[in-house]
Amino acid sequence: MALNYIWIALFVLGFLVGVLKMVLGDYEALPAMMDSTFEMSKMAFEMCLGLTGTLTLWMGILKIGEDSGLINRLARFLSPVLTKLFPEIPKDHPALGSIFMNISANMLGLDNAATPVGLKAMQELQSINKDKDTASNSMIMFLTLNTSGLTIIPVSIMAYRAKAGAADPTDVFIPLLLTTMVSTLVGLTVCSLYQRINLFNRYILLLFLVIAGFVAGLFTLIFGMDNEHVQQFCRLLTSGMILGAIMIFICSGWRKKLNVYNSFIEGAKGGFEVAVKLIPYCVAILVAVGVFRASGGLEMLQHAVERGVAAMGMNSDFVGALPVALLKPLSGPGARGMMLDCFAHFGPDSFVGHLASVMQGCTDTTFYILAVYFGSVGIKKYRYSVACGLTADIAGMVAAVFFSYFFFG
């Protein structure tokens, strides 16, 4: 219901701002808004079409893992931890393995791999959902962990900063890691309070220690490297992990004497069906964002916040990166465009450039993820998922401002 109100609000506010600008003499506002509806519809379709190949690949790979029993073995291994966060899921259910793979891909910044695995996890969660049009607790917990966007290796952010000519593209590594941890912990805590899950459990604490150990080991490996070697190391690490995972799945099927090729084809067929099903949801959210942005509403909101912050006597340097924060929950491409715009106007090594980089990577696109993931399985009632996702977003953005002032202010 909350997403419904936000979707309507984006259209209504955008239209009102456009009419106001027309009354004031700007006769290009309404045509620009109309053009944005066609542009964003096309972008949404192309986005889903571009996702088809990736979905087809990973749905096929996951089918091999499912038929070979690898996902079931992974689920049994992880069940002591994940069953505490997802108590509704049976102990050896394959959804646990898909959830772990999705979270791992997100942590490594592998968006192309994370989305197909996440959609597969949603299908498996829907299979045990008693009310097929209402989000279950497990679905909401899974979506909250996705929208909070825990990322350990921000490969794409470093690549964009390097392309923009940053002196040190990797200098956002530590503040971004700290910020995304804050957003994830806040989102996890809020969702656990809704579901009355006790996070002070030895298995959950052990998971946090493992993640902390991985981060510490990563810092140890890259300590003393120059920028070029850090980026090369991160690319090799992520590429090796994703290719290694594919080989493990294929070898697992071969070891079980499966017809690996047929298993892949059977699973891959679902990739196209899922991609087509996502088109209306992507069109809906991106067109609404495009109308609001083209109307000038986003710019007006930014100026209002800037004046309010200045009136309170506070440092308003962070306002330059505010468009990234406002668009991030709604549109990943839109927020990325705003980050690149900050690079162009302020420079990638400016305070605003650093802050925009941290904001871009500290959380994920909440409404896009809710629309796509829930839409892929026909969920219509989101319950408290929007509240959990937005709380994580707000916590991440506040932490981004704090850590950016600390490291770059």
Contacts of 131 (CB under 8 A, 6+ apart): none
Euclidean distance between CA atoms 348 and 327, whole angstroms? 19
Taking the C-alpha atoms of residue 101 and residue 285, their distance in angstroms, rounded to an integer, is 27
What is the spatial distance between Cα 146 and Cα 150, in angstroms, rounded to a whole number? 8
Residue 161's identity, in one-letter code, is R
Cβ-contact 378, 278 below 8 angstroms: no
The angle that helices 173-195 and 137-148 make with each other, rounded to 10 degrees, is 160
Q: Which residue has the higher pLDDT, 378 or 100?
A: 378
The amino acid sitting at 261 is Y
Q: Which of 329-343, 367-381, 388-402 has the highest mean pLDDT?
A: 388-402
Report the C-alpha gap between 195 and 193 in whole angstroms: 5
- Contact, 18 vs 28, CB < 8 A? no
Measure the CA angle with vertex 289, ends 288 and 292; round to 5°. 90
Tokens of 391: 């709380």
Quick: pLDDT tens for 339-378: 877 787 788 888 888 998 888 888 878 887 888 888 888 8
Tell me the per-residue pLDDT of 101-160, one tens digit each, with 9 for 90 and over. 787 777 766 665 677 778 888 988 998 998 888 999 999 999 888 887 777 667 667 777
In tens, the pLDDT along 188-204 reads 889 999 998 887 877 77
Nearest to 230 by CA among 219, 245, 241, 216: 219
Q: Which residue from 280, 337, 295, 282 is spatially nearest to 35, judged by alpha carbons? A: 295
- What the block records as the tokens of 186 is 């806040």
| Helix, strand and coil percent figures for the chain, each rounded to 5 | 80, 0, 20
Residues 6+ away with beta carbon under 8 Å from 80: 203
Q: pLDDT tens across 228-253, in order?
A: 676 677 667 767 777 887 888 899 88
Quick: pLDDT tens for 17-55.
Answer: 888 888 888 778 888 888 888 887 887 787 677 767 777
- Residue identified by tokens 């996070």 is 199
Measured CA to CA, the distance from residue 169 to residue 157 in angstroms comes to: 8
Burial of 22 (C-beta count, 10 Å sphere; 0-12/13-18/19+): middle
Residue 69 gets the label, from left (phi > 0), alpha (psi -120 to 50) or beta, of left
Query: What is the identity of the amino acid at 202?
Result: R
The type of residue at 335 is: A
Are the beta carbons of 322 and 41 closer than 8 angstroms? Answer: no
